[in-house]
C-alpha cells in the first residue's frame, strides 16, 4: 500500500506537469517540462529483504530546450531564433532570457515584449533606441535593426549553456543563475516569424491518458489492500 500511495503521488505530479505542457502548447517560445524518476526503499527494508518493493518518486523536473518550429507571421516585429540563443529583456530584478520573439513598439519607441519588458539592443552610443512605429523596420539575420536604411542598433542574443544554471520564470522566461555571465551568441534571426512551443501535443495527450489509467490502477490496488487488511482483522478476531 505504501508503494501504491507513492506511485499515486508521483502520478499526480506527472499529471500536473503534463497538463501545464498541454495548456502551453500554443504559447510562443514555451519549452516543455519532463521528469526524472527514481525508486527508493528504506535501509531497514533492504536489510531484511533485498528484493523489497521500492517506492517510485519523481526525483526532479527538467526542461526540454529543443527548438520548436518557426512559424511565419508576416509581422515585422515578430522575431524567431534559428539555432542556439536567447533574447534578453529587462526583468523586474535583472535580465531574463526568452525565445518568445512576439514583440511590439512601446510608447517610448523601444522594442518590448507583450507584457512590457524592454528588449535589450546594443547601440554604438549606449543610448536607448527610438523607433517610429509608422515607418518600415528591417531586422537582419544578425539582429541589426534598420529604419529608413539607417542602422539603429543590434539585438543582443546569448547562449545559455549548462541546464543546471538555468531556471524557469513563468511560461517563457528563463533566469541565468551562474556567477559567470552567459556567452554572446550569434544565431540566425528571422524577421516575421516566431518559434512555436516544442510540446509534442499528440504524445502529451497519450501520456495524459496513460497517467490517469495508472493512477486508477494504483487507487484500486490501495482499495484491495485495505480490504485485505480488514479481512485479516476479522480472521484474527474469530481465531
Tell whether 176 and 214 lie within a shared domain.
no
> What is the model's pLDDT at position 226?
73
As for how many domains the chain has, the answer is 2
DSSP state of 133: T
Give the cell for residue 58: 519523481
Q: pTM of the predicted model, to two decimals?
A: 0.78
Cβ atoms of 197 and 28 within 8 Å: the answer is: yes
The last residue of one of the domains, among 195, 211, 229, is 195
In the block, which residue shows the cell 539575420? Answer: 141
Tell whether 56 and 108 lie within a shared domain.
no
Query: Which ranges constitute the DSSP H helices of the chain?
Result: 2-23, 43-48, 201-238
> What is the model's pLDDT at position 55?
52
Distance separating alpha carbons of residues 177 and 224, to the nearest angstrom:
48
Phi, psi of 189 (to 5 degrees): -100, 125
- For helices 2-23 and 201-238, angle between their N-to-C axes, nearest 10 degrees: 160
> What is the model's pLDDT at position 215?
76
Which three-class secondary structure state does DSSP give residue 210?
Answer: helix
β-bridge mates for residue 63, sequence order: 33
Tell whether 119 and 233 lie within a shared domain.
no
Tell whether 181 and 94 lie within a shared domain.
yes
Along the chain (239 residues), what's the average pLDDT of each consecutive run of 10 residues?
A: 71 85 93 71 54 54 90 95 94 93 94 93 84 93 93 92 82 91 91 95 86 80 76 66
Amino acid at each position: 500500500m505504501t508503494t501504491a500511495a507513492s506511485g499515486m503521488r508521483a502520478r499526480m505530479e506527472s499529471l500536473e506537469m503534463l497538463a501545464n505542457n498541454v495548456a502551453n502548447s500554443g504559447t510562443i517560445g514555451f519549452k516543455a517540462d519532463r521528469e526524472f524518476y527514481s525508486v527508493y526503499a528504506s535501509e531497514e527494508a533492504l536489510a531484511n529483504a533485498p528484493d523489497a518493493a521500492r517506492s517510485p518518486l519523481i526525483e526532479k523536473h527538467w526542461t526540454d530546450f529543443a527548438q520548436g518550429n518557426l512559424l511565419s507571421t508576416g509581422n515585422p516585429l515578430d522575431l524567431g531564433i534559428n539555432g542556439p540563443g536567447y533574447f534578453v529583456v529587462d526583468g523586474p530584478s535583472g535580465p531574463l532570457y526568452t525565445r518568445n520573439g512576439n514583440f511590439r513598439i512601446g510608447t517610448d519607441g523601444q522594442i518590448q515584449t507583450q507584457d512590457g519588458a524592454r528588449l535589450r539592443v546594443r547601440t554604438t552610443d549606449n543610448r536607448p533606441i527610438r523607433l517610429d512605429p509608422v515607418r518600415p523596420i528591417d531586422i537582419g539575420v544578425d539582429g541589426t535593426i534598420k529604419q529608413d536604411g539607417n542602422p539603429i542598433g543590434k539585438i543582443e542574443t546569448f547562449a545559455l549553456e549548462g541546464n543546471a544554471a538555468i531556471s524557469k520564470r513563468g511560461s517563457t522566461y528563463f533566469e541565468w543563475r551562474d556567477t559567470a555571465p552567459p556567452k554572446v551568441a550569434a544565431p540566425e534571426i528571422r524577421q516575421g516569424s516566431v518559434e512555436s512551443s516544442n510540446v509534442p501535443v499528440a504524445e502529451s495527450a497519450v501520456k495524459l491518458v496513460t497517467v490517469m489509467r495508472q493512477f486508477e490502477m494504483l487507487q484500486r490496488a490501495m482499495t484491495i489492500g485495505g480490504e485485505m487488511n480488514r479481512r485479516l482483522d476479522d480472521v484474527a478476531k474469530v481465531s
